[in-house]
Structure 1
Amino acid sequence: MKSRWATLLLLCCCCLGHGVARTWPRSHQREAAALRESLNRHRYLNSFSHDNSTAFYGLNQFSYLSPEEFKALYLGSKPAWSPRYPAAGQTPIPNVSLPLRFDWRDKHVVNQVRNQKMCGGCWAFSVVSAIESTCAIQGKPLDYLSVQQVIDCSFNNYGCSGGSPLSALSWLNETQVKLVEDSEYPFKAENGLCRYFPQSQSGVSIKDFSAYDFSGQEDEMAKALLSFGPLVVIVDAVSWQDYLGGVIQHHCSSGEANHAVLITGFDKTGNTPYWIVHNSWGNSWGIEGYAHVKMGDNVCGIADSVSAVFV
C-alpha cells in the first residue's frame, strides 16, 4: 500500500464550482472499506470493455478514497458556473485539413504533467498550461509559469476551493496581469495572499481568448486545436478516479462538468478515434498523466465548454 492518509484530511477542494472545506477522518478500517468499494467499482466499470481500445480501470493513487472523498477533493459539488460568450466574440476557425493524428507534444511545446495535489486548482492548471504552450508555439521558451499566482490573485475564483477556467481567462484578459515563472511564485497547494509585481517584472500576459461550444462539431474543435494550440476544456471526470488506460467511452456525461483539463492532440488512426488529454493529477495517474477520450460523441461533455488562448 502507498503511504497512509493523515488521521484528518482537510479537504478544501473542488475543481469547478464554489466548494466547501470538509474533514474526512481516516483509519485503517475506512481505507479498507474504500478499497473494497474500489474493487467492486472496477469490476462494474470493466464489464463494459468490449475490445482492447476501451478504457480499463483498477487500483491507483485514488483507490483509498471513497467516491465522496474523491469528488470533494478533485471534482467539487456543482457543475461549472462558467459564463457563456456570444458567437460574435469568437475567433473564426480556419478551415484547415485534418491529419489522422496530431499531438502538440510532438512539437515540444507542452510541459510535463503537474500535480495539483490536494488543491482544487485544476481550473488554474489548465489555463496556465495552455498559456505556456501557446507561448512556445510562437517560438518563446517553454517555461513553467506560476499556477499559484492565478490561484491567489484571480479574484473572481475561489483558489483551492474551485474556479472556472473561463473566469480565470476573463480576469487575465481584463487586468493584463503578467504571469511570472513558477520559480518566482512556486506552487504550494494551498491558498495564499496575492503577491504583486512591478510593471517592469518580466512575465506573460494574454492578448485574448475565445470560448466555444463544440458539441456536435468535434471536427471543428480539432481544427481549432491545430490552428490555435492546446485547448482548455471542462469535463465530467467522476469515473476518472479509477482510470488506468485505454479510451474512455462510457461512465461519464455531458452537462455534468466538474474538472478542467487540456487537450493537446487527437488520434484517428485506430478503430476508436480519441482526444489526447493532459491532466493535472501527476504522471503516475492514467497514461503517464494523460487520458484518452473518444472523439465524436461528446464523451464526458468534452466539447461543451472549450477555450483557446492567444498571447
Structure 2
Amino acid sequence: MADVRQILTILGMTCLLFFGIPIRIDKPEKIKEKLFLTYVNKFNKSYKYNVTELNRRFASFKESLKMIEELNAGRTFNSSAYYGLTQFSDMDFGEFNTHHLKNNHEKVKKRVQMRQKNSMNNNEASNEILVTRLRRALLPEKFDWRDKGVVTPVYNQKLCGACWAFSTVETLETMNAIKTGVLEKLSVQEAIDCSSSVNDGCSGGDICSLLQWMFAKQIKIEPATDYPLKWKTGVCLLKGASYGVGITEYACNTYSKNEKLILDLIANHGPVAVAVNALTWQNYLGGVIQFHCDSSLDMLNHAVQIVGYDLTAEIPHYIVRNSWGESFGEKGYLKIAIGSNMCGLAHEVASIYV
C-alpha cells in the first residue's frame, strides 16, 4: 500500500508541476529522484544513461523546484504567470544564461544612457517624429498583429545566442508583410553572419546595432530560402544589396517613463523588437508576468518581439513572441504586464520602416 501511495504522490506532483499549479516541494529525496526521472523521460534528455551527468542535472533540477514554488507563491490573480517544469529546468542559472540568453547588455546600457542625454541619434527617428507620424486615433483596447496574418511562425534559436537577430528579422518580416501583403521568412542567418562588425553572432548582440548597420550600409535581408538558418556563426555569404528587404528608417528609443508610446507604436505602426531580462523565464509556462522580473539596465540579457497587447484583460499585458520554439510558454509566446517596465522591456524599443 505504501508503494501505491508513493506512486500516486509522484504522479500527482508530476501533473501539478507540468501544469504550473503551486505546490510545496519539501518532499523526501526519493520522491524528487523519481520525479526527476519522469522529467528526464518526458523531455527525452540525452544524458539519461550518464550517471555523472544525471547527478549534476538533478542538483539543478532541485533548484528549479525551489524556484518554481517561490515564483508561484507570488501569484495574485488567476491570470498571473505560473511556473513549472520546462525543457530548461535541469539547467543552473549560469548554463541557462550562457546557452539561451547572451544579449549584449553592456552595449544596450551604453545606448540607453546616451539616449537619455541626447533626444535622438543621427540615423534614428526621434520620439517627436514618431508621435507626429502616428495616426493618434483612439488607442484600441486590444490589438494583435497575428490576427492580421502578418506574423511568421515562432522560431527556435536553439543554442545560438542570436536573439537580437531573430527579434529584429521577425519585426522586419512583419513590417514587409504590412507594406506588401506578402508574408515571407527572411534570413536570420544573414544577420548573424554579416553584421560581425557590430555584433557577435551566436555569442550575443544588440537589436539597435543591427539596425544601425543595416541602415548605414543599406543592407537588404535575403529570403530565408536563399540564406538558410544554420544556428551557428558562419562566414558572411552576402553578395551585395541587390535583392531582399531593407529598411528606409528605424527608431531605437527608451520608453521606460511612457509606455503608452509603445502601445501607440504597436497599434498604429507595427510590432517592435525590445531588449529584456529573461532570467526568470526558465520555468515559465503561461500567464502574465507581473513580478519577479528585474527591470534594471544591468540585467538585460535577451531580445524579443512584441506583437500586440490587451488592455481589457484582468492584468493588462503585452503579447510577446519569444524565439525558444513553440514548446515554450504559450505556444512560443508569453505575456508581460504593462506599465512598470517589467523585465526592462521599455529600455530599448526598436521600430522599423521599410
TM-score (norm 2): 0.79
User: Are residue 236 (structure 1) and residue 277 (structure 2) matched?
Assistant: yes
Q: Distance in 2 between matches of 1:77 and 1:132?
A: 21
Aligned partner of residue 36 in structure 1, secondary structure:
helix
Aligned to 1:289: 332
Distance verdict in 2 for CA 1:30–1:192, change over 3 Å: same
- How many aligned positions are there? 293
Aligned partner of residue 27 in structure 1, secondary structure:
helix
Q: Distance in 1 between matches of 2:329 and 2:54?
A: 26
Using the TM superposition, give the Cα deviation of residue 74 of structure 1 relative to its aligned residue in structure 2, in angstroms.
1.7
Q: Pick from 166, 174, 185 the counterpart of residue 125 of structure 1.
A: 166
Using the TM superposition, give the Cα deviation of residue 87 of structure 1 relative to its aligned residue in structure 2, in angstroms.
2.7
Aligned to 2:301: 258
Q: Structure 2 matches for 1:211-250, cutoff 5 A?
A: 211-250=252-291
Q: Pick from 179, 194, 197 the counterpart of residue 153 of structure 1.
A: 194
Using the TM superposition, give the Cα deviation of residue 254 of structure 1 relative to its aligned residue in structure 2, in angstroms.
1.5
Aligned to 1:18: none
Q: Deviations over 1:197-221 (max 9, x none)?
A: 2454x21111110111111211121
Aligned to 1:273: 316
Aligned to 2:148: 107
Largest Rg, 1 or 2: 2
Aligned to 2:234: 192
Name which of structure 1's ranges 39-48 and 28-37 shifts more when overlaid on structure 2. Answer: 28-37
User: Are residue 308 (structure 1) and residue 351 (structure 2) matched?
Assistant: yes
Aligned-pair identity in percent equals 40
Using the TM superposition, give the Cα deviation of residue 36 of structure 1 relative to its aligned residue in structure 2, in angstroms.
1.3
Residue identity in the other structure for 2:262 = M
Name which of structure 1's ranges 110-119 and 211-220 shifts more when overlaid on structure 2. Answer: 211-220
Residue identity in the other structure for 1:64 = D
Q: Pick from 214, 230, 241 the counterpart of residue 172 of structure 1.
A: 214
* C-alpha RMSD of matched pairs (Å): 1.8
Q: Deviations over 1:147-202 (max 9, x none)?
A: 000000002100000000000000111111111111111111111000022454x2
User: Are residue 37 (structure 1) and residue 79 (structure 2) matched?
Assistant: no
Using the TM superposition, give the Cα deviation of residue 61 of structure 1 relative to its aligned residue in structure 2, in angstroms.
1.1
Distance verdict in 2 for CA 1:220–1:6, change over 3 Å: same
Asked whether the 8 Å contact 2:103–2:162 carries over to 1, the reply is no
Q: Distance in 1 between matches of 2:327 and 2:165?
A: 20
Q: Distance in 1 between matches of 2:52 and 2:340?
A: 39
Using the TM superposition, give the Cα deviation of residue 110 of structure 1 relative to its aligned residue in structure 2, in angstroms.
0.6
Q: Pick from 65, 69, 74 the counterpart of residue 48 of structure 1.
A: 74
Aligned partner of residue 229 in structure 1, secondary structure:
coil
Q: Distance in 1 between matches of 2:240 and 2:193?
A: 17
Q: Structure 2 matches for 1:56-95, cutoff 5 A?
A: 56-76=82-102, 79-82=105-108, 83=111, 84-85=114-115, 86-88=118-120, 89-90=125-126, 91-93=129-131, 94=134, 95=136
Q: Distance in 1 between matches of 2:187 and 2:276?
A: 23
Using the TM superposition, give the Cα deviation of residue 5 of structure 1 relative to its aligned residue in structure 2, in angstroms.
4.4
Q: Distance in 1 between matches of 2:225 and 2:143?
A: 31
Residue identity in the other structure for 1:138 = K
Name which of structure 1's ranges 177-186 and 278-287 shifts more when overlaid on structure 2. Answer: 177-186
Residue identity in the other structure for 2:119 = A
Name which of structure 1's ranges 121-130 and 177-186 shifts more when overlaid on structure 2. Answer: 177-186
Using the TM superposition, give the Cα deviation of residue 78 of structure 1 relative to its aligned residue in structure 2, in angstroms.
6.0
Asked whether the 8 Å contact 1:34–1:65 carries over to 2, the reply is yes
Q: Distance in 1 between matches of 2:84 and 2:285?
A: 6
Task: Return the structure number with greater strand share.
Answer: 1
Q: Distance in 1 between matches of 2:153 and 2:237?
A: 25
Residue identity in the other structure for 1:270 = A
Distance verdict in 2 for CA 1:59–1:158, change over 3 Å: same
Asked whether the 8 Å contact 1:71–1:77 carries over to 2, the reply is no
Q: Deviations over 1:63-96 (max 9, x none)?
A: 1111111011122386241334443442322223
Q: Distance in 2 between matches of 1:75 and 1:26?
A: 26
- Structure 1: runs of 5 or more not aligned: 8-24
Distance verdict in 2 for CA 1:108–1:257, change over 3 Å: same
- Structure 2: runs of 5 or more not aligned: 1-39
Q: Distance in 2 between matches of 1:195 and 1:209?
A: 24
Aligned partner of residue 138 in structure 1, secondary structure:
helix
Residue identity in the other structure for 2:78 = N
Aligned to 1:209: 250
Q: Distance in 1 between matches of 2:56 and 2:46?
A: 11
TM-score (norm 1): 0.90
